[in-house]
Amino acid sequence: MPTEQQYFEEAKPLTQYMDDMTTKKEESFSIYEKFEVPADDEFISVLNEKNPHILVITEDWCGDAMMNNAILRRIAEAADIEVRAVYRDENLDLIDQYLTNGGRSIPVYLLLNKDGEVISKWGPRAEKVQQFVTENREKFPPKEDPTFEEIQKAFFEQMTKEFVENKDFHLAVYEDIRSNWLQALQK
C-alpha cells in the first residue's frame, strides 16, 4: 500500500479538485469567496515556515467537504502551502486507516511533515458544527418512523444552507484546524 506521501504526490491540487467538482460546486465557491483568513495570525506564519503538505480525503457530494475545503483553500493560499486531494471512494485503503467513530467520514485532512510523515489528522467537522448536527439529529424520530426520511431530507437542506451562510461555522472550522495544526507543528 502506498504511503500518505505517495498518495499526496499522485493527488490533484485542491484548486483543481474544486474546479472539477460536479456537486455542491457553487456552494463551495460561495464559501470560498466569502471567507477571509483572520489577519495577523501566527498560524499562517507557522504554516508558511514549516511548509507541511496537506493531503485531503474527500468527495464533492459531502456537505462538510463543501464548507471545509473552501476554508482550507483560503488557509493554503494565505500560507503558500501545497494541498492536494484524493477521492475517498477511490482510496478505501487510505480512508480505512483514518476512520471517525468507525465510519468513513470526510473530509479528512492529513498534515504531513517534510519527511512525509503524518503528524496530525483533522476532520470531518469542527466541534461547533458537530454540536449543531448532533443537537438537530436528536430531534429526529426513529428510523422506522414514516416521517424519518422527510425530516432527514429537510435537515440536510437546512444544514447545507447553514454551511454556506453561517460565518460563525466558517470561523469555527478555521479555529479548529488552527488549534489542531499549531499543536502538531510546534512539537
> Which helix (H) or strand (E) element contains residue 12?
strand 12-13
Q: Is the model's pLDDT at 114 over the cut of 80?
A: yes
Map residue 56 onto helix, strand or coil.
strand
Sheet with 108-112: list strands edge to edge.
12-13, 82-87, 53-58, 108-112, 118-122
CA distances from 126 to 87, 163, 175 (A): 21, 12, 8
Structure confidence by residue, pLDDT tens digits, 66-81: 999 999 999 999 999 9
Task: Give me the mean pLDDT over the 15-34 stretch.
Answer: 97
Number of independent structural domains in the chain: 1
pLDDT (0 to 100) of residue 131? 96
Query: CATH no. for residue 172?
Result: 3.40.30.10
Q: What is the DSSP letter of 49?
A: H
Q: How confident is the model at residue 37 (pLDDT cuts 50, 70, 90)?
A: very high
pLDDT (0 to 100) of residue 118? 97
pLDDT (0 to 100) of residue 53? 97
| 170 Cα distance to chain centroid | 11
CA distance 25 to 152: 22
Task: Give me the mean pLDDT over the 59-64 stretch.
Answer: 96
Nearest to 113 by CA among 136, 81, 146: 81
CA distance 40 to 118: 27
Question: Across the strands, what pairs with 82?
Answer: 53
pLDDT (0 to 100) of residue 50? 95
pLDDT (0 to 100) of residue 64? 97
Place of cell 476554508: 71
Q: pTM of this prediction?
A: 0.94
The answer to whether the CB of 106 falls within 8 A of the CB of 88 is: yes
Q: Is the model's pLDDT at 187 over the cut of 90?
A: no
Q: Is the model's pLDDT at 108 over the cut of 80?
A: yes
Q: What is the DSSP letter of 117?
A: -
Task: Give me the mean pLDDT over the 122-136 stretch.
Answer: 96
Place of cell 479548529: 176
Q: Which three cell numbers stand for residue 136?
A: 438537530
Q: How confident is the model at residue 14 (pLDDT cuts 50, 70, 90)?
A: very high
User: Which structural domain range is residue 36 located in?
Assistant: 4-185
CA distance 166 to 161: 8
| Cis peptide bond prior to 2, omega within 30° of 0 | no
pLDDT (0 to 100) of residue 40? 74
Nearest to 107 by CA among 32, 29, 152, 173: 173
Q: How confident is the model at residue 134 (pLDDT cuts 50, 70, 90)?
A: very high
